[in-house]
Amino acid sequence: MRLRLAGAVLLSAAAYYVYLPLPSGVSEPWKLMLLDALFRSFMQASDVAHTLGVCHRVHLLNRLVSWVEVIEARSCPAVQVTDIRLGGVPTRVFQPNGGKNLKRGVVYFHGGGWALGSGRMRSYDRLCRKMAEDLDAVIMSVDYRLAPEAVFPDQYHDALAASRAFLSSEVLHKHSIDPERVSVSGDSAGGNLAAAVAQELASDETLNVRFKTQALIYPVLQALDFHTPSYQQNQAVPILYRPVMARFWLQYLGASPSLEPVLLANNHTALDQPSISAATRSKLNWTALLPAERRKHFRPVVKATGSPGVVGEVPALTDARAAPLLAEQPVLSRTPKAYVMTCEFDVLRDDGLMYVRRLQDAGVAVTSDHYEDGFHGCMVFAYPPMMSSVGERSMNNYIRWLDQNL
Ligand SMILES: *[C@@H]1O[C@H](CO)[C@@H](O)[C@H](O)[C@H]1NC(C)=O
Ligand SMILES: *[C@@H]1O[C@H](CO)[C@@H](O)[C@H](O)[C@H]1NC(C)=O
């Protein structure tokens, strides 16, 4: 009897921990709840370790994730998999066996808030393997340095160095890649790096080879407005909660974590911030850049007075290499044909949708692929045990887009 009671108590405690009211319309809510409970328990364990001074929260998180997820480079009959250095940066290469003599090529940047993850994780390994196989393309998945040891511009510089090496005639030749059919791609923070690299290299006169396409999966693109409609609508939707994104940004930019409430209040972009020009503000003015069905009933949060000096303290907040949405129109106009995937239940939805609009305004051909039931990160959960339905659908559409456009 006592055992049964204890069991019932434990079960309800577990259900209480796992249960989370989710917006209606999100794909497979129970799977998302379980995923969230797993992430939350990892986060909480890391927070405890951090508070006790055992280790930095990111280190424990990364160790947990690596323990569950990192796998060796294993070749299979269809794809040869090796770990190399690309422009000095560790990179996993997926080279299809057989197929055409000259292959398409994709340089890929994984997500994880510039602090977590690896191209050697099972989820990214599977994604890149499938891309290599389905597209008969060489995929290079780059392990750029991570925060907190590395902060902006380190991640950006690694992404750039790897991309330049990827586009070099030696690497293209060695891996039988067609110089006319190369793409840059990435998800989340990796989508940020892919967009920044696409901008930088499109304007580089010294290059002989250019990216034909850029494919951005729920990219993070700006840190000046934490009250876009998607930040407001999805602030409590797993797995990327609004404060977590603010923390990732501060960590990436090497800023004090104590600024988190300032960012979340949009105090850093109050009108008394002299270093943010009207031109900069217009680049993320979502009342103009988003369609009405995404703006919904939300109102902009623009403070008259805030915390002046924050942008002076953290100048990278207005640096387009960190926040590609802030690029000038002529820079955008030189970037390659684009694919931007966005999810309705994602704080970063409007970062992506505003970028779609700004690219279109700059004359770039853009495919905007929006998932009404998608959540942040869904594409890397396409495989077992999660087998997210929207994850699988979006992955197939992403690969199909590359097949038709690269
Ligand atoms: C944003 O766009 C709206 C609508 O076009 C306009 O009324 C407003 O002045 C703009 N705000 C900024 C800060 O550019
Ligand atoms: C935001 O700025 C206002 C006005 O300066 C200030 O009263 C408030 O405490 C600030 N909030 C945060 C979270 O820094």
CA distance readout (Å), 342 to 184, 206, 265, 352: 17, 33, 24, 6
Ligand 1 centroid from CA 318, angstroms: 19
According to DSSP, residue 217 is labeled: E
Which three-class secondary structure state does DSSP give residue 53? coil
Ligand 2 centroid from CA 269, angstroms: 11
CATH of domain 66-222+329-405: 3.40.50.1820
CA distance readout (Å), 266 to 6, 303, 308, 336: 46, 7, 11, 32
Q: Per residue of the chain (406 residues), what is the pLDDT tens digit?
A: 677 777 777 777 677 767 777 888 999 998 999 888 888 888 888 888 888 888 888 888 888 777 778 889 999 999 999 999 999 999 999 999 988 899 999 999 999 999 999 999 999 999 999 999 999 999 999 999 999 999 999 999 999 999 999 999 999 999 999 999 999 999 999 999 999 999 999 999 999 999 999 999 999 999 999 999 999 999 999 999 999 999 999 999 999 999 999 999 999 999 988 889 999 999 999 999 999 999 999 999 999 999 888 999 999 999 999 999 999 999 999 999 999 999 999 999 999 999 999 999 999 999 999 999 999 999 999 988 889 999 999 999 999 999 999 9
CA distance readout (Å), 49 to 52, 56, 59, 60: 5, 7, 10, 8
In short, whether 281's Cβ falls inside 6 Å of ligand 1 is: yes
Are the CB atoms for 213 and 405 separated by under 8 Å?
yes
Enter the pTM of the model.
0.95
Backbone angles phi, psi at 375, to 5 degrees: -130, 160
In short, whether 285's Cβ falls inside 6 Å of ligand 1 is: yes
Looking at the CA of 270, name the nearest ligand. Answer: 2
Which pLDDT belongs to residue 11?
A: 73
Q: Which single residue is written with the structure tokens 């290469």? A: 93
Q: In the chain, where are the structural domains located?
A: 66-222+329-405, 229-318
**By CB neighbour count within 10 A (0-12 exposed, 13-18 middle, 19+ buried), where does 385 fall?**
exposed
Looking at the CA of 283, name the nearest ligand. Answer: 1
Hey, which bits of 253-403 come out as E strands? 337-345, 366-375
In short, whether 256's Cβ falls inside 6 Å of ligand 1 is: no
Ligand 2 centroid from CA 307, angstroms: 6
Are the CB atoms for 330 and 316 separated by under 8 Å?
no
Q: Which atom of ligand 1 is nearest to the CA of 282?
A: 14
Active site residue ranges:
188, 346, 376
- Best residue for ligand 1 mutational test, from 287, 302, 350 (most atoms within 8 Å of Cβ): 287
Instruction: Label the pairing between strands 103-109 and 137-142.
Output: parallel
Residue 318 tokens, joined? 């207005």
Ligand 1 centroid from CA 89, angstroms: 42
Which pLDDT belongs to residue 166?
A: 98
CA distance readout (Å), 391 to 51, 295, 383: 35, 25, 8
